[in-house]
Amino acid sequence: MNLKKTSLLITKWIFICLLIGVFSGCASAFFLVSLEWVTQYREHHNWIIWLLPIGGLCIGLLYHFYGTDVIKGNNVLLEEYENPKKTIPLKMAPMVLIGTLITHLFGGSAGREGTAVQMSGAIADQFTGLFKLNNSDRKTLIILGISAGFASVFGTPLAGALFALEVLYFSKITYKSIALSFLTAYVAYFTVEFWQVAHTHYHIPIVPQITVTILGWIIIVSIIFGFASMLFSRSTHFWGKLFSKTISFPPLRPLIGGLILALAIYGIGTTKYIGLGIPTIVESFSATNPWYDFILKIVFTGFTLGAGFKGGEVTPLFFIGATLGSALSTIVPLPVALLAGMGFVAVFSGATHTPIACTVMGMELFGIESGLFIGIACVVAYYSSGSVGIYNSQIVKGSKYKLYQRFKRKDLEDF
């Protein structure tokens, strides 16, 4: 390839990165502002939670009649990357946006990363036809979409770029995809910054020196974080299968699920375990949480998503990890903020099989001083979380796969 062709190719991909980053960043900024508005409205008008069944029915009907080809959410992106067939419909973006806002407005327990990633992935894939790209290049577009969505919604460009690469398994990633993923992540991140949309900030004020004793405690709590990841993933899949098996007409699943959720929220007398749960996450860095907080969040989120409501899993995973780490501070001789931060990213690491991205995310959010604690926690949780993650279509490879194969001597899916 001569210099002119190489220059044109590089220019084309930089232009594509800029387009994906800007469009995805704008979409995420609009989503974050809208999400904050519906959250505040719900918190000041709690009576609206009684309309959760109606909201669920609307989501169910919307996807049943217009979105059967995008209903699998993030798994659509993973499947199209592994086995490219057709361009992801652009309608995925507005449908998941509407579905997520309805879920949060009426009191469902869900996250936001799934929405941002799906919107960005759908936007990115539209450039396949515009630039007449082949399947190999289309895979790169999907990576860029995931990278832009994650980086823009959490304000962590390094982790966003790495997450897109790691969740799709590093060995199939080209050097071109790596460079473009980082470029797109930063463009999306700065686009959100341009719109002056703020991200939540966390702080770990005290980071002790690592000793043999402290290392032992880190490993113990990290194994617990891994088990929490496993419990969340299996809980979400359990509720999804139960609803599918017992209710044949899909739109009725979120209707009935919404009714049960509304009654449950009324029964416990608090809205602590619905929505994103950001205030509780922030509080866990400075105060000890009750031991049952993380369990109730697992139940509420698994049930919400299993019933067919829309949203992501990652922010609930942050809630689960941070509150679990905070609760463990009563028996583990480590600072509460450090334990909360470790749990914050370690539970996420175990549920998504992405320890590298989660380690980097921890350092982006909490500072490089806690990097060693965060890294150990993410790796140990990754290995102790089992083979089942939150994404059904994710291909689990690498050392974890080999370890489980050697340990069980049978197919990974049976683990």
pLDDT value for 394: 77
Domains and CATH numbers, the chain: 3-194 (1.10.3080.10), 212-414 (1.10.3080.10)
Q: Which two tokens stand for residue 57?
A: 């029915």
pLDDT value for 415: 35
pLDDT in tens, the chain (415 residues): 578 888 899 999 999 999 999 999 999 999 999 999 999 999 999 999 999 999 999 999 999 999 999 999 999 999 999 888 899 999 999 999 999 999 999 999 999 999 999 999 999 999 999 999 999 899 999 999 999 999 999 999 999 999 999 998 765 677 788 999 999 999 999 999 999 999 998 999 999 999 999 999 999 999 999 999 999 999 999 999 999 999 999 999 999 999 999 999 999 999 999 999 999 999 999 999 999 999 999 999 999 999 999 999 999 999 999 999 999 999 999 999 999 999 999 999 999 999 999 999 999 999 999 999 999 999 999 999 988 899 887 766 655 655 555 555 454 444 3
Q: Do residues 348 and 150 touch, judged by C-beta distance below 8 A?
A: no
Q: Do residues 310 and 59 touch, judged by C-beta distance below 8 A?
A: yes
Residue burial 16-46, b: 16+ Cβ < 10 Å; e: rest:
bbebbbbbbbbbbbebbebbeebbeebeeee
315 Cα distance to chain centroid:
6
Strand, coil or helix: 111: coil
pLDDT value for 5: 85
CA distance 88 to 107: 29
CA distance 293 to 282: 14
Ordered DSSP codes for 333-395 = SS-HHHHHHHHHHHHHHHHHT-HHHHHHHHHHHH-GGGHHHHHHHHHHHHHHS-S--S-TTPP
Instruction: Say what the pTM is.
Output: 0.94
